[in-house]
Structure 1
Amino acid sequence: MPPDAPALSPEQTTALLDILSHHETHREITSFTSPDTIAGYGFPFDDDDDDDASTPAGSTAPILQLLLRRLLPMPGLRDLPRAFWAHVRTLLARLAGADLSSSYDKGSLGTRRVLAAGSSVVLGGVAGGLLGGVVAGGEEDEDGAGDLEGAWGVVLHLFPFHNSDHTNPSLAALMHHILVLSPKGPYLLKLMENVHSLIPYKMIRQTLRVGNAATMINTVTRILLAKLSVTSVTNWFGLTRSDDDGMNLVQRIIALVLSWDASEFRKSADKIERASASAGAGARARAAGRHDADADADDDAAAAAAADDDNPPTEEMLRVIRAYIEEPSSHHDVVRSASERNGQSIMTEIFNASNPHLNARLTEAQHAQCLQYYSSLLSIRDRDRITDVFCRQPPDVFTRALKDLVAAFSPMIRTIHANIDLRDHFDATQAFVEDFIKTSRPKEGADHFSTEERMDDDDNKEGREQEQETKASTSPSVQDYVALLMRHRRSLYRWLHALASQCPDIWESFRVWTDETLVQFRKNEDGRASVPAVLGRLYAGLDPDTQTEVRAALDRHVAYLSALHLVSRARMRDLAAA
């Protein structure tokens, strides 16, 4: 750095760390679509890696591995066997190798992309605090009025909304954004409703009445994880020894919910196929009519005009799309790269790779329906392959991972079951889920779109804009979610009080883990070894022109973060006042 070049200010350093941590976290999350990321992740998926290592050196996802290392010492998780992480690694590798569709192919943000972006924001913020550190307040004199006043100021600074009446709006705003403001909100709510309707709450509640903890755990495990098939019967008689045939209750819920979801997309695809077949039959009839001297010209013109108004894709176009979906992932990557490189629609490149002459007679209306058809088929295929990964592919590592999870938490569950009546808390959880789903539904009289209509965002764009005001007045508000949390906060307080008073050993173990985890967020006293200091040295090694560009970008991000903080604070104050 030149002698007269100023160093980065603390605000600029914080902005730089924020940019880098969020960018890297998002990259790592999206990279899990590649099997290479899972193979090079390291501990705990890699048996040869040293679990005592303090830094995730050589990992393909260093930020995520760093966060996982901080989570692993949590009571219960620290008792998981290495076999559990091997099963998780296998599941992730299967998902990565399933060639699931990308948002680019569908032309809109998919659910997985939205969840990846949201999780990268949360995890990126945690990673930024972990790497950058939090300045400690130092020691205070408990007998000094000035120090007590200063300490109270620190509390107000760190927790500006320091009771449940002020913290609830933050969580309520997050719920509102995910389930109301997000385009995928109604879809996620529908998934929650389907899963909730299939959970056997009454059967599980009756099992919680069993006095013996081991019997209770074994019964609940059998309800959720026991498989029902011909092979399971022969296994019980000892005639066979195969644990991979059939599905357990959890897998059946997953398969059934995804099949319901896929059926909605199948309706959309079938609608386009029927229109295409009808138009093709009409075209063939008109062509045959031209050779008939007695054909009525007026009827032909009327039929042709009707066909032009509908203008569905041809059967050949749909056949090309279906054939392309069955191609290997390497071919999909080539076509996707060509689309990005040439700045053309993915549908145009699909036809170029198979039958280029189709693009010559592809109308705008046909192009839109082809994209919708392609997106529907991809959604159906994705759900089938996700079901295969979790429910059908042998060996059944998903069930084995769940059993390992139950075994690791069994000692904790035994202690809690011996000291706390879990039925009341289980009922409270069920009541909260039902109230949460009810609150998230549009209010009566809302003019909302069906699941099938939501698949075609482009066609519904005008209608959405026209009904935006009506939707805003009938959809749940942030205040509705605040009221939801206020109604059920006593249930949470009762659970925390019961756990702290009746199970002090468990409570103490979580307190110790929390203290040890929070220590990791302390600002590094060794200034040279801290991440902000490293960023400062990297900035100093840049040439003057690049430094100027970096400082300008950081100043813009500082202004953005400042404005975002002010808007967030103002909204939270308004919600708290309301």
Structure 2
Amino acid sequence: MSDINAPLSAAELHALFDILTHYETYSEFVDLRYPDTAANVGYPFAKTAKDGSRVHVTKPAAPILHQLLSTFVTEMFALRSLPNTFWSVQVQGIFENLAEANLSESYDKGALGTRKTLCTVFSSILELVARGQLGGVQRQIENTRSLKSNVYDLNRAESLIKAWDDVVQELVYGNLIDELFDHAANVSGNLEEHSPAAEAAVHYIVLHLATILHQVFVVSSEGPYILKLLDNMYKMLPWVMIKQTLRIGNAATMLNGLVKLLLSKLSIGSVSNWIGVTTDADDGMNLMQRIISMTLSWDCSEFKKTADHVKKMKSGPTKEQLAAIDEHIKLSRDEQDRVRGTSISEGKSIVMAILKSQHQSCSISDSEHSALLDYYSARLSIRDREEISRVMCRSKPDLMTQLLRDVMSAYEPMIREVHTKIPLHETMGDVEAFLGEMIETAKGTKSQVATITDFVDLLMRNRSRLYKWMHLIDKECPGPREEFRTWAHNSIREFRRKSASPRPSPAKGYTYGDANGGRGHESYCSGAAGDMSATLSAMFAALPRETRADVRHQIDAHATYLEIINGRSVVHMQNILDCLSARRSSSSLGALDVTSKLRSKISSKASSGAASPAPVRLGSPENGAVSWEASGPGVFLIRWNDLLDETLVTPATQFGPPRVGKDVKQKTSMGKAGTGAKAKEKKLPKGFVEEFEGLKVDGGAVSDIEAPEVGAVLTAMGKEFWQLLASRKNDAQSKVTPVTNFI
């Protein structure tokens, strides 16, 4: 164990930075459920002052979200021309209305819901951006060869990672942005033809994007449900009419037709409001709102079936108990939080806490308790969808429609220029084709769930569509091209280090070196915390000695954890590359040969002491399966699962401690359309778990390790870290004009 008085090493600073940014980013996302959070995020959102004016807070409550919004989003081409009211009225209003709707919690529903799944994945990805912006990208002095002269092996994970690091170096500290724009305009939209490094970096990006899609649509328990929602909306979009409208030669007529098609409301109320007979009649919904409303209403019908089934059970809950559940759902957020807190503190299920708070008998059987949990979950799901539909489709004023109109107005000059040079109906056809392929890929086949390699194939097949569009934009449309180039330069500049690179003590981190023993480049944590290193070191040194000992112990444990999962990420990437290689050669190899070849590769990694891979999926020879699947690459994937695993969930029994997310990862809320598809309609390969049950790597089982406890770190340094971020000067905000009084 490290001396508590010694300065933090590079690995320790890296671990401390990871802990603080990981939980700060997620807490800011979670806090958006409270109505007053959005107004206190800071620019571009605003709060109402005592004199009625709208002002930006100087100390944002969500400094990371504030920094990301003000630096990258609001400065994006076209969006920066939007009026302040777009952000502080339309966007902020939608966030506040959703927060006031008091949507349900995963704890109450007994499962990790769709919002929890999407919130955690966004948080896990954006924390990487936040760390890069706060700490900066470490500059590699020894990178002397050009990207075009380097050689990379597309079948080796270490080589792809090296290529990605080289590309990032040239993007942040070189002139690669201009080179890529010029290449797309003058040579080809195929960025892979720019250099071997660009080609390898594209493969690196594709592997990570495929992993995200696979995790959301296949691995997640909410995957079939999310896929069903996406499929329903995809089928309801009038693709043919949109493409026909985009064919219109006159840009003004085309834009007017597109706005009418997507955003016009046709109802008696809208007509009477327009002619002045009424002023506040329900003016109906536009096409986009109708699609959202119909999709959510179909969901509600499924949940109502679950609730009705519980009501009709012969030996089910009493009418009084069901009424108590219904009454609890109508309570305010504070009252519901109080009941939830009672459930956690007293070690009883949320249903038992509700019955007690409503003065109902708590003497129920286990079957009645299970039925009440299902009923409560279904009723919460119904209310959630009704509230989301109300906010998005039937709110007064209609913030969603005005938001979409403002966005289309902002992009109108760009659309006009692009429309005269590029056949937009073909671009829309490419979008339609890609979404259709993605949905079909995620569904898998009748006998097999989709694998990561299926999503890799999907992205590799369709990347030419993107390259074609990029080439046309860069070659034919100089206005949008230069706007985007400027935004790219300004954005990437945020990742440059503003201070000299620190010289910390040697880091014990996983090094992405040559697999055959060659010298690799610097370890993942050698840059410590970048520009934040000195500040974090001072914060740690200022802690009391006793506190510092506990904090350092947890930092060391987390540093070891990061070392392991970084190593795992490399192994997972290599597993996918091996699988892709095996699929390419499967035409000349039998299923048994492929399976044996890949199993022996895993065994050799185990015997050589390589970092432990996550549980793998292997098609057995008896099934004739030739595809082999491992968990995807990316530390963010493991950190995403950490957030899900830590989520509190109500006990399944009447009394007992709360469960956590890892206990209910394969459980979904009752009545969700599309759920159960993986278990009922798909077959997992035989030996999915059994073939690797006894495999040991690095002296431990293949099963996932748990993230270490970091409560002492957050208690001692979390608030001070937030204050540090909240007090940082924001250049983007300093340039903005004050918000005028529009109330």
TM-score, normalised by the number of residues in structure 1: 0.82
SS of structure 1 residue aligned to 2:75: coil
Per-residue CA deviation, residues 478-503 of structure 1 (Å, 9 max, x unaligned), is 11111111211111110111111111
* 8 Å Cα contact 2:307/2:379 also seen in 1: yes
AA partner of residue 373 (structure 1): Y
SS of structure 2 residue aligned to 1:137: coil
AA partner of residue 95 (structure 1): L
SS of structure 2 residue aligned to 1:515: helix
AA partner of residue 333 (structure 1): D
SS of structure 2 residue aligned to 1:196: helix
Correspondence for 1:425: 427
AA partner of residue 44 (structure 1): P
Q: Distance in 1 between matches of 2:48 and 2:497?
A: 32
| Structure richer in helix, relative to its length | 1
SS of structure 2 residue aligned to 1:36: coil
The 5 A counterparts of 1:448-527 are 474-525=448-499
The 5 A counterparts of 1:238-387 are 239=277, 245-275=283-313, 279=314, 311-356=315-360, 358-360=361-363, 362-387=364-389
1:24 aligns to 2:24 (yes or no) = yes
Q: Distance in 2 between matches of 1:235 and 1:262?
A: 31
Count residues with an aligned counterpart: 505
Alpha-carbon spacing, 1:214–1:138, altered in 2? closer, same or farther (3 Å) = farther
Shift of 1:138: 4.7
Alpha-carbon spacing, 1:175–1:4, altered in 2? closer, same or farther (3 Å) = closer
Correspondence for 1:553: 554
Alpha-carbon spacing, 1:142–1:354, altered in 2? closer, same or farther (3 Å) = closer
Per-residue CA deviation, residues 123-168 of structure 1 (Å, 9 max, x unaligned), is 111111111111123597789x99999xx99756445882434432
1:217 aligns to 2:255 (yes or no) = yes
Q: Distance in 1 between matches of 2:437 and 2:379?
A: 34
Correspondence for 2:240: 202
1:110 aligns to 2:113 (yes or no) = yes
Alpha-carbon spacing, 1:371–1:215, altered in 2? closer, same or farther (3 Å) = same
Q: Distance in 1 between matches of 2:209 and 2:150?
A: 32
Per-residue CA deviation, residues 258-300 of structure 1 (Å, 9 max, x unaligned), is 001111111111111111xxx2xxxxxxxxxxxxxxxxxxxxx
1:67 aligns to 2:65 (yes or no) = no
Shift of 1:226: 0.3
AA partner of residue 426 (structure 1): M
Shift of 1:329: 2.6
1:89 aligns to 2:101 (yes or no) = no
* 8 Å Cα contact 2:270/2:282 also seen in 1: no
Correspondence for 2:524: none
Alpha-carbon spacing, 1:327–1:148, altered in 2? closer, same or farther (3 Å) = closer
Matched-pair identity in %: 38
Of 236-245 and 120-129, more deviation after overlay is shown by: 236-245
Flag structure 1 segments of 5+ consecutive residues without an equivalent: 50-54, 280-310, 446-473
Alpha-carbon spacing, 1:374–1:242, altered in 2? closer, same or farther (3 Å) = closer
Shift of 1:249: 0.6
* 8 Å Cα contact 2:164/2:201 also seen in 1: no
Q: Distance in 2 between matches of 1:248 and 1:191?
A: 19
Q: Distance in 1 between matches of 2:38 and 2:164?
A: 43
Alpha-carbon spacing, 1:209–1:157, altered in 2? closer, same or farther (3 Å) = closer
Q: Distance in 2 between matches of 1:222 and 1:59?
A: 39
Per-residue CA deviation, residues 24-66 of structure 1 (Å, 9 max, x unaligned), is 11111000111121222221111789xxxxx984111111000
Alpha-carbon spacing, 1:119–1:33, altered in 2? closer, same or farther (3 Å) = same
Shift of 1:549: 2.0
Correspondence for 1:6: 6
SS of structure 2 residue aligned to 1:520: helix
* 8 Å Cα contact 2:214/2:455 also seen in 1: yes
Q: What's the Cα RMSD here?
A: 2.8
Q: Distance in 1 between matches of 2:419 and 2:491?
A: 27
Which residue, 129, 132, 136 being the options, matches 1:129? 132
Q: Distance in 2 between matches of 1:526 and 1:484?
A: 42
* 8 Å Cα contact 1:56/1:66 also seen in 2: no
AA partner of residue 543 (structure 1): P
Alpha-carbon spacing, 1:4–1:210, altered in 2? closer, same or farther (3 Å) = closer
Q: Distance in 1 between matches of 2:232 and 2:413?
A: 32
Q: Distance in 1 between matches of 2:161 and 2:253?
A: 52
Correspondence for 1:395: 397
Correspondence for 2:59: 58
Alpha-carbon spacing, 1:427–1:369, altered in 2? closer, same or farther (3 Å) = same
Alpha-carbon spacing, 1:553–1:476, altered in 2? closer, same or farther (3 Å) = same
AA partner of residue 564 (structure 1): I
Alpha-carbon spacing, 1:107–1:48, altered in 2? closer, same or farther (3 Å) = closer
Correspondence for 1:42: 42
Q: Distance in 2 between matches of 1:571 and 1:14?
A: 22
* 8 Å Cα contact 1:75/1:510 also seen in 2: yes
SS of structure 2 residue aligned to 1:176: helix
Correspondence for 2:676: none
Flag structure 2 segments of 5+ consecutive residues without an equivalent: 50-55, 153-159, 168-196, 503-529, 581-743
* 8 Å Cα contact 1:95/1:389 also seen in 2: yes
Q: Distance in 2 between matches of 1:543 and 1:236?
A: 68
* 8 Å Cα contact 2:317/2:368 also seen in 1: yes
Correspondence for 1:182: 220
